[in-house]
Amino acid sequence: MQVCRFKVLTKTFYDPEGRAAHERQLERERIRDADKGEDEGEISARAPKYYPASPEQFKLDVCGLKDFNVLKYTRVKQTLFYLLGYTREQICERDTNNLDVKKAKELIDNELFERMGNYNPVGPRETDFKAYQKMSFLKKNI
């Protein structure tokens, strides 16, 4: 049950096929509403249909972080990067554990969302990991 719920939640970050299907469904609904004879004013005045956990719903908001000069909660973002397998050299200032905002903003792209979608919290990790990628460090980091 927990694994199934986790898979549904990760689709809100990375699911290109689901997003394409969702957009096709929205387009069909727009066409159907237009065929009913409603004018554009009535359609735009009506609230859009609610879709819980639509595919990739958070992607645009997270990608919007690239436009900011100052980021809040850098430890949370740093922990996310470590959890997804990024190394300290990729995201931190040289020889420190401080998140380098410029480096972090460069890493917010499709690869980040792909890693979030493919992340599997169940079972052992097949790859080697550093001491700062262990759960005990990540818990203290937050």
Q: Residues 83, 124: one domain? A: yes
pLDDT of 40 above 60: no
- The pLDDT-based confidence of 36 (bands split at 50, 70, 90) is confident
Q: Residues 75, 36: one domain? A: no
| Strand stretches in the chain, DSSP E | none
Q: Is the separation of the CB atoms in 9 and 53 below 8 Å?
A: yes
pTM of the model: 0.67
Predicted local distance difference test score (pLDDT) of residue 52? 60
Pick 40 or 110 by higher pLDDT: 110
pLDDT tens profile 10-32 = 667 777 888 888 888 888 887 88
Q: Residues 50, 88: one domain? A: no
Domain count, the chain: 2
Domain of residue 87 covers 58-142
Q: Residues 115, 49: one domain? A: no
Q: Residues 91, 122: one domain? A: yes
Pick 37 or 4 by higher pLDDT: 4
Q: Is 10 left (phi over 0), alpha (psi -120 to 50) or beta?
A: alpha
Q: Residues 48, 62: one domain? A: no
Q: Is the separation of the CB atoms in 13 and 58 below 8 Å?
A: yes
pLDDT tens profile 48-61 = 666 666 777 777 77
Q: Residues 36, 66: one domain? A: no
In the chain, what percentage of residues exceed pLDDT 90?
A: 2
Q: Which residues contact 71 (CB under 8 A, 6 or more apart)?
A: 65, 77, 99, 101, 104
Last residue of a domain, one of 19, 34, 56: 56
- The pLDDT-based confidence of 2 (bands split at 50, 70, 90) is low
For the ranges 58-62, 82-86, 88-92, the lowest mean pLDDT is seen at: 58-62
Q: Residues 128, 92: one domain? A: yes
pLDDT of 44 above 70: no
Q: Residues 2, 26: one domain? A: yes
Q: Residues 52, 62: one domain? A: no
